[in-house]
Each structure stands twice: as structure tokens, then as C-alpha cells.
Amino acid sequence: MGIFDPWAGFGVTFNTMFRKTFTQGYPQKGKEKVTMPRFHGRHQLNRWPDGLEKCVGCELCAWACPADAIYVEGADNTDDQRFSPGERYGHVYQINYLRCIFCGYCIEACPTRALTMTNEFKLADDNRRDLIYTKDELLAPLISGMEQPPHPRRLGDDEQAYFLGLPETGQPDTRTPAQGAAK
């Protein structure tokens, strides 16, 4: 039995030697690679349903990053310049993809679920400066019903109404700025 173990390894090698890979003909073939749902790709800074940013500038993601790839500077919101519903927001947010190891520790550390990872995997570039993503490149796009910050809270008069109006965990937030707080 032990004498045939090398042949089993050769069989695996022989079977995979002639298999076509994803990279053959890429990108001319037009077939996009389908990633698994939990794939760790490019980061995204999420928004509340009225367009305000979820990031509160706490810097926990930067502290959790083992590669020191994240830089965050927090700033205070004012009544005239409100970027997030809380007291603070992430004024400067950068992720250096030359250092990032896509471990996901930053996602786990985020208390507001402001930072998530998308399935986007095409991050190659020929310029090192373009691989340092800024807040503008990381923010989720505005969708219907959202307003570009800075603006006042649209989903409640105060923080308690804003956050307590959220649906149960695991349910999508379907509130729109016109509806106001749910409770």
C-alpha cells in the first residue's frame, strides 16, 4: 500500500495538468470570476438610509489591523456640518492596499458595522499611489432616498429616535427619510 502513495500524487497532478484555469484568456473571454459570499475583497464604508455615514471615527479598525494598513482621523459633527448621526465622524479614512492582508479583523472590530468587505477583487494597479484608497473611494454610493452629507438627521429628531427606529437585527432597513423614525 505504501509503495503506491507516490502514484496517487502523480495522478492528482496529471488530472489537473490539462484543466483550463480562470486566468486562461482573462479578461478577453468576458467570463467574470464568481466569488464565494464570504470572500474578503475591497472594503466599503457604509451609509445609513438617509445618506449619513456609519463611521464614527473611533479608529478601532486601525487598531485591530495587524498590517497597519488603515489610517483614521475622527472629527466632531456640528449642527451645521453633520456627516454621521452621532457626535463624531471619520474625517480622514485611508486604506493602504499595498499593506492590507485582507484578514477581516477591521470588520470584526467595527462597532457600527460601518466597514464591510465587498466581493470586488480587481485591485491591481501600476501606480503605488492609486492603491491607497481614500474615504471618497471607499464610501458606498448614494442610492434612491439618500442625500449627500452634510445634512441634519432625517430619520429621527435625536440619536435615540434615529437608532431605536432601526429594524430587528438581520432585517434590511427599509425606512426612507420621508417616513421618519419607525417608533
Binding site for [4Fe-4S] cluster: residue ranges?
A: 55, 58, 61, 65, 100, 103, 106, 110
Is 54 exposed, middle or buried, given 0-12, 13-18 or 19+ CB atoms closer than 10 A? Answer: buried
Residue 134 has phi, psi (to 5 degrees) of -100, 175
CA–CA gap between residue 151 and residue 171 (Å, rounded): 26
DSSP state of 163: H
Binding residues: 55, 58, 61, 65, 100, 103, 106, 110
DSSP string over 108-155: HH-TT--EEE-S------S-GGGGEEEHHHHBPPP-TT--PSS---SS
